[in-house]
């Protein structure tokens, strides 16, 4: 069984559109775990357009399973992670003005920067994952950084899947074989959904975790959160 981490950013987006505390991100996290999620993911951004720093501290008090914080390792982000000490931190190279994550790290160009950050997080026993495009070289370099895992950025898979699923999975499968050979953990995320998740999961047998937010929260509007989490879990 691969783990499902539910990204609750979109709950915060809905709340922030109106102000106040409805819907509650804390209650969404509690319910998601109760309904079968293996963990909770948040991606706080500097402008706090969805998850806020206050949310992260509130969630720390209630999450009983895995807590994954992802984001661009600015000083503000690093300080937050060091204070919260989540189960996992996922380093993502998103610029402040992007709507959503749109690329993986060029580890070669950022090697020394990332090495220092990974070392600091690992010193505190925070599992560290690097968000990368499905390129074998990036997986190799993440291992050299001594990261615990890589998270494969799956947007290209999702786009190609309706056209040719075998072609869509090809680069991800190669990366999965390499990850297995060099003993680095494998996560995946971005645009995975009820249509494409089962095939991805069946082909990547060393997949440890998927982080899904937008599609899952959107599906829950139609199917309810409990039923939706069960549907995703069955696909894994």
Count of Cβ atoms closer than 10 Å to residue 168 Cβ:
22
Count of Cβ atoms closer than 10 Å to residue 233 Cβ:
16
The rounded distance, in Å, linking the Cα atoms of 64 and 46 is 26
64 Cβ contact partners less than 8 Å away, ≥ 6 residues apart: 33
Check 43, 66, 155, 209 and give the catalytic one: 43
Count of Cβ atoms closer than 10 Å to residue 155 Cβ:
18
Check 33, 155, 190, 209 and give the catalytic one: 190
Q: What is the DSSP secondary-structure string of 13-41? A: HHHHHH-TT-S-HHHHHHHHHHTT-SEEE
Residue 5: strand pairing partners: 39, 211
70 in active site: yes
Check 33, 50, 66, 70 and give the catalytic one: 70
Active site residues: 43, 70, 190
């Amino acid at each position: 069984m691969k783990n499902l981490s539910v990204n609750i950013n979109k709950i915060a987006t809905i709340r922030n559109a109106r102000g106040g505390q409805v819907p509650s991100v804390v209650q969404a996290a509690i319910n998601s775990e109760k309904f079968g999620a293996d963990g909770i993911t948040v991606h706080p951004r500097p402008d706090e357009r969805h998850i806020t720093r206050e949310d992260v501290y509130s969630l720390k008090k209630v999450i009983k399973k895995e807590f994954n914080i992802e984001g661009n390792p600015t000083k503000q982000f690093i300080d937050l992670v060091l204070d919260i000490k989540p189960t996992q931190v996922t380093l993502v190279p998103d610029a402040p003005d992007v709507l959503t994550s749109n690329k993986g790290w060029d580890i070669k160009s950022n090697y020394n920067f990332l090495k220092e950050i990974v070392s600091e997080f690992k010193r505190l026993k925070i599992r560290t994952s690097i968000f990368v495009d499905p390129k074998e070289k990036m997986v190799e370099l993440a291992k050299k950084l001594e990261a615990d895992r890589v998270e494969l950025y799956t947007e290209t898979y999702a786009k190609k899947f309706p056209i040719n699923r075998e072609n869509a999975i090809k680069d991800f499968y190669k990366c999965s074989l390499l990850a297995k050979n060099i003993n680095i953990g494998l996560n995946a995320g971005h645009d995975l959904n009820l249509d494409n998740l089962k095939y991805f999961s069946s082909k990547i047998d060393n997949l440890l975790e998927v982080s899904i937010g937008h599609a899952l929260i959107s599906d829950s509007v139609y199917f309810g959160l409990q039923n939706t989490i069960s549907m995703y879990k069955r696909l894994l």
